[in-house]
Amino acid sequence: MNLKEKVSRILMELDRAYPQSHTALHFKNPLEILIATILSAQCTDKQVNEVTKGFFKKYKTAKDYVETALSALEEDIRPTGFFRNKAKNIQQCCRELIKKFQGKVPQTLEELVALPGIGRKTANVVLGNAFSIPGIVVDTHVGRISQRLGLTKEKDPVKIEFALMPLIPKEKWILFSHQVIDHGRGLCTARAPKCPSCFLLPFCDFGNQEDRGRGGSKK
C-alpha cells in the first residue's frame, strides 16, 4: 500500500471511530477560545474548563483583561499552571487586539501569530474552532501519532504541520486534528499505548515494530 492509500484508510478509520470529534475546551466566542487555548499549555482541557467556567463571566472583552491588575489575573488562572507567564501573554495579546483589531480576534493565521504568545498551534485552534477556517493543529498527540503512523519523520511541530498538509485533504484538516487528539488521549498514549486494541495498528510503523520486538506476529 502506498502512502496515499495508507492515509485514505487511516482517515476512513478515524471517521468511523470519531465521527463527531471536537475541541474539549468550552467557549462561546473567538476571544474565549483564544484565551482558553493559551491557558491549556501544560494543562489539561478539563482543568482549563474548571477555571474558565467562572473566569469568562468576569472577563468578557479584551479590555477586561488589560484593565485588570496583572497580579489579580495571575491568581484567577493559577490552577492552570505557569500562571505568571500566561497572564503576561494574555494581557500583551489583548493590548494588541485592542490596538490593531478593535478588541476583536483576527481571522487570518498571519495576524494571529503576530500577536504576543500566539504560535501556529494556537492560531490554528482558534481559526478552526471559532471561524471554521482549515488548519492542522500539531499538539503533542498529533505530533506523536503522525510519527508513529509513518506520516512524517519530522519532530518540529511546524515541520510536522507542513508535512501533513499535502497528505490530508484540506476540508478534513480541522476534524483530523480533533480525531487524532482524541485517539492520542484514549488509545495511542505517550506511555504504554494500547497497540493490541488499536484499529490503526495495521497502518502503524510503531505498533508493528513493538509487535515484532515482542516476538509476536500479526494475524
Q: In CATH, what number is assigned to the domain containing residue 54?
A: 1.10.340.30
- Please indicate, yes or no, if residue 8 is contained in any of the structural domains: yes
Q: Can you tell me the distance from the alpha carbon of 128 to that of 15, in angstroms, rounded to the nearest whole number? A: 18
Which pLDDT belongs to residue 140? 96
Contact 7, 167 (CB under 8 A): yes
- Do 182 and 198 lie in one domain? The reply is yes
In the chain, pLDDT over 70 holds for what percent of residues?
95
Return the percent helix, strand and coil in the chain, to nearest 5.
65, 0, 35
HEC letters along 150-195: CCCCCCCHHHHHHHHCCCCCHHHHHHHHHHHHHHHHHCCCCCCCCH
Residues 12 and 41 in one domain: no
Stretch 189-216: mean pLDDT? 83
Q: Which residues contact 152 (CB under 8 A, 6 or more apart)?
A: 146, 159, 160, 163, 164
The pLDDT, as a whole number, for residue 214 is: 53
The mean of the pLDDT values for the chain is: 95
pLDDT at 3: 94
Cell representation of residue 105:
480576534
Residues 105, 39 share a domain? yes
Question: Are residues 115 and 53 located together in one domain of the fold?
Answer: yes
Indicate whether 100 and 161 sit together in one domain.
no
The region, left, alpha or beta by phi > 0 then psi within -120 to 50, assigned to residue 154 is beta
Radius of gyration of the chain (CA): 19
- In which band, very low, low, confident or very high, does the pLDDT at 207 lie, cut at 50, 70 and 90? confident
Please determine, for residue 185, whether its predicted confidence score (pLDDT) is greater than 90: yes
Residue 86 shares a structural domain with residue 170 = no
Which residue, of 110, 131, 152, is where some domain finishes?
131
Q: What is the per-residue pLDDT across 71-106, written as a single tens digit (0 to 9) for each? A: 999 999 999 999 999 999 999 999 999 999 999 999
Percent of the chain with pLDDT over 90: 94
Asked if the structure places residue 218 within a domain, the reply is: no
Are 15 and 53 within one domain?
no
Digit-coded pLDDT (tens) for 132-167: 999 999 999 999 999 999 999 999 999 999 999 999
The answer to whether residues 127 and 142 belong to one domain is no
Supply the pLDDT for residue 210.
Answer: 60
CA–CA distance, 109 with 173 (Å, rounded to integer): 15
Shortest CA distance to 174 belongs to which of 128, 107, 142? 128
Domain-terminating residue out of 131, 164, 194: 131
- Looking at the structure of the chain, the number of domains it has is 2
Give the model confidence (pLDDT) of 52-67 as tens digits. Answer: 999 999 999 999 999 9
pTM of the model: 0.92
Catalytic residue among 139, 172, 211, 219: 139
Q: Is 121 a catalytic residue?
A: yes
pLDDT bracket for residue 219 (50, 70, 90): very low
pLDDT score, position 211: 57
Is residue 216 predicted with pLDDT exceeding 50? Answer: no
Mean pLDDT, residues 4-24 taken together: 97
185 lies in which domain range? 3-20+137-213
Annotated active-site residue in 121, 182, 194, 219? 121
CATH number of the CATH domain containing 169: 1.10.1670.10
95 and 9, same structural domain? no
Q: Are 162 and 198 in the same domain?
A: yes
Active site residue 139: yes
Task: Give the end of a domain, one of 113, 131, 149.
Answer: 131
Co-location of 49 and 9 in the same domain: no
Within-domain flag for 219: no
| pLDDT value for 213 | 52
Residue 174 sits in the same domain as residue 86: no
Confirm whether 181 is domain-assigned. yes
Average pLDDT rounded to a whole number, residues 202-214: 76
